[in-house]
Every structure is written in C-alpha cells, then in structure tokens.
Structure 1
C-alpha cells in the first residue's frame, strides 16, 4: 500500500513539474544585440545572423517556449536584472573574474568568441598590450559589458560599425570589438582596421535568470545536440566564411 501511495505521489509531482515546465515562456530581447553583426542582422528575417538563427532553434530543441521583446539596447541589462527578460547571450570573459552575478546561472559553452583592441595600422604599435588601455579614452558600444572598463574611459557608440567610423574620424585612437563584427564592418565600409592586443577570449553562454535554473539540463542537452550534429558550425560558417577569408588575406 505504501509503495502505491509513493508511486502516485511521485507521478503527481512529476505531472505538476512537467506541466509547469511546459507552460514556461522565456522572454528575450531581439533589439539589445541588434547591432552585433554578424551575430544579429537587423531587418533581415531570412538571414537574421548567427544568434538570430540559433536562438529559436536551440530553445525549440529544448522544448521551451520563447517570447521576443524590443527593449532599447541600453535597457537590456536593466531589464534582465529586474526580471522583465529571462535570458541573453554573453561571455563570462566580459565580466570581472568571470562572475555573471548572483541573479543568473549559465549554460554550457556555445560559441568561441574573441575581442581585440582595434585601431588603424598607423597606430597599432601603441596598442600591443592590454595595459595600454589604462587611463585612455577607448571606443566601446553602449550597453555592452567589458570586464575592465573601470581602468579606462568609455566612449560609447551605438555599434561596431560606428566604432570603425570613429577610428577613421580620429574621435578615438583605439576601440574594443569582437573580431567577427570588426571584420564584417571593416569590409562593408572599406575601412581596414588592425587587430592589436587581445582583450578577452572565451565562449558565449546563455545567461539565464536563476529562477529558471531547472531548465538548464534541457538547454545544455540541446546545445550538445546542435554541436554534435554540426548545426552550430554550419550556422557560424554561413555568416563568417567570407570574414575569415578576408582576415587570412
């Protein structure tokens, strides 16, 4: 009799858990990273960028519903901190000591990512160490996270595209950018830039509010599946093959 009661109790708890799980809808911001080319490509529904394609695919494989929102880019972190959004994609290397904060948990690694100090070739010799940032005015993107931005003065622009324009207008001598966005916009603008010192190196992960931590096993399983079957690599290649070729030249 006791075994029957335990079995029924377990079944009820499992049913309640899976029902709650099925009803969960995670909110994310499509605008917060919309300038982050080629990870997101705004106004391009057929080719929305690496994360533009990967986010709905990943969450569908994890059997989790999602809901798009359009907060202004500078409000994304505030919205995440206050629970208006549930997740985004970041690299722990962008945070002091790799700590995403007590409000969040993180998924397994999804995509390798690097940031460099970028500058014009004529200035590159002055930016061969990350220590060269100290006390300087450095081009950054408003709303983006930089692990050591207390060491320099941020000069915020709206996108990596505007960072490169600022270098050519001599508004800043150096900026910090992810490699692929810098390569993409340097090509589009026909404004070559030089990669100087490495600023950060790591992996993109999903930063998920900790009240949804129970969803991580499904999310991580979906990441592993899309990595093992080559889907993530194919999506990355779709948007980066030309950029990688340009850098090799």
Structure 2
C-alpha cells in the first residue's frame, strides 16, 4: 500500500572524504500524501500532520536542505521510478515479500504502522481473515500499493475519507486502510467503521534510490537521534492519542 508521503529529489550532493555537502536544496513532494490524515494534513501549517512535522526535522538533522513541491500522486510515483525524484516514505509491508525493488535501499525504521480491512459493524464477521479478500471488490486508494492486490479487484477512490463514504453508500463491502486514517475520518464524518482483519503490519522507512546510498548513514543517525530524544513519540502522540482513545473507550 503506497503512501507516497514525502518524496525527495536530490539536486546536487557532493561527497568528499566521507562528508556530505548539500549545496543546493533537495526537493520533496507533499501532495502525494495530502489525503493521508493524520500523517499529512493539507492547508494546516500549525498542525501539518505527523510526517508534515517530522520530515523537516529529519532533513535538518541530516543536514539536508529542502524545498516543498506539489505533484499529483501518480506523477510522483513515475518520477520516483524513473529517477526524477529520489526517495519517499513507505512500509516494506506494502510490497510483495517486503521487497522494495532493485532500484532502492531503505533507511532504518521510523514509525510503526498498521493497516486493516475496514467495514461496517454489520459486515465485520465476513472480513476476519485476509483470505476473505480473494476475488472480491475491495475499496482502495488510487496510487497506493497493496502487497496482495493481485488477489482481489481494486475499486480505487481518491482518499481514505472517500473509502469511509463508499462503505456507507454500499459501493463496496470492505476497504483497506491504515488504522489511524480510518479512525480519524470515521469520527470526522460521524460514520463508525470496524477494524476487521489486520492486513499488514510494519514500519515506515525512507525508500531511497540506490545511487544515493551514501546518504543513509546521516539519515539513519538523524532518525536515531529523533527517536532517542523522544521527538518522534511526541509528534505521534499529538496526532494519535485522541483517535486511539475514541476507538477504545
């Protein structure tokens, strides 16, 4: 399941005696994730979402300058595959056999992430196993990657918000969504949903084109520092505590 959360294009990077110098800004795309609340929240500069806050901090710690750009998700995916952009944030669990492909390397784990089959409570008993997806029409988000989407028929919508609406309009009986986006939009729309079978579980990583592998040590060091000083946990808690409380109370 692809959440092209932040995709970055390296313009100029010089490596001399093991030190990285970023003399020009690195471009990253935010629009590809503009529907993935609460990881990215558009038009909300004070609360831009988990990754909206974390990525600038991560790049600063790694001593990487950056520029924000807005491309549609499908253009972003093409640009990444063809070397026009250089990395994004994904979970290996979204890929068959956790394989990101021969063009890429990955950073250390950044954030734990889960996705579920979501449905209405009245249908939950029919979606307690991933095998229930086989041969069915399943709500998905266009441009996202799903590790087993060859087993079912994708019915693409533009966002997790629209997946919730589609369930209530009976356009699909089930969909696949991250837990936090599903809970956020269910509460926002006052349309409760059930998290049925766990579809995938893993961690977000930076997926980096292999030709820029020399950047990984500084990126991983920045991730480790933001984890050890509690920054990542504080940002996650800011956006997730209420959603989790509303689901479990």
TM-score, L = length of structure 2: 0.91
Asked if residue 59 in structure 1 is aligned to residue 59 in structure 2, the reply is yes
Aligned to 2:183: 183
- 1:19-78 deviations in Å (ceiling 9; x for gaps): x63236433211001100000001111110000000110010010122222111222211
8 Å contact from structure 1 (residues 117, 199) kept in 2: yes
Q: Structure 2 unaligned segments of length 5 or more: list them.
A: 1-13
Which residue of the partner structure matches residue 76 of structure 2? 76
Query: What is the 5 A alignment of 1:12-91?
Result: 15=16, 18=19, 21-23=21-23, 25-91=25-91
Give CA-to-partner distance per residue, 1:74-122, whole Å, 9 cap, x none.
2221110112211111000000000101111100000000000000000
Q: Distance in 1 between matches of 2:121 and 2:112?
A: 26
- Structure 1 residues 56, 14: CA separation in 2 closer, same or farther (over 3 Å shift)? closer
* Corresponding position of 2:213: 213
RMSD of Structure 2 on Structure 1 (CA): 1.4
Q: Is 1:159 the counterpart of 2:159 in the alignment?
A: yes
Which stretches in structure 1 are left out of the alignment for 5+ residues? Answer: 1-12
Secondary structure of the 2:198 match is: strand
User: Equivalent residue of 2:31, what SS?
Assistant: coil
Equivalent runs, 1:137-152 vs 2, <5 Å: 137-152=137-152
**Do the aligned partners of 2:138 and 2:152 also contact (CA within 8 Å) in 1?**
yes
Q: Which of 1 and 2 has greater Rg?
A: 1
Change (3 A) 1:124 1:24: same
Q: Secondary structure at the match of 2:204?
A: strand
Cα displacement (A) at 1:14? 7.1
In the superposition, the TM-score normalised over structure 1's length comes to 0.91
Aligned residues of 1:30 and 1:68 also touching (Cα < 8 A): yes
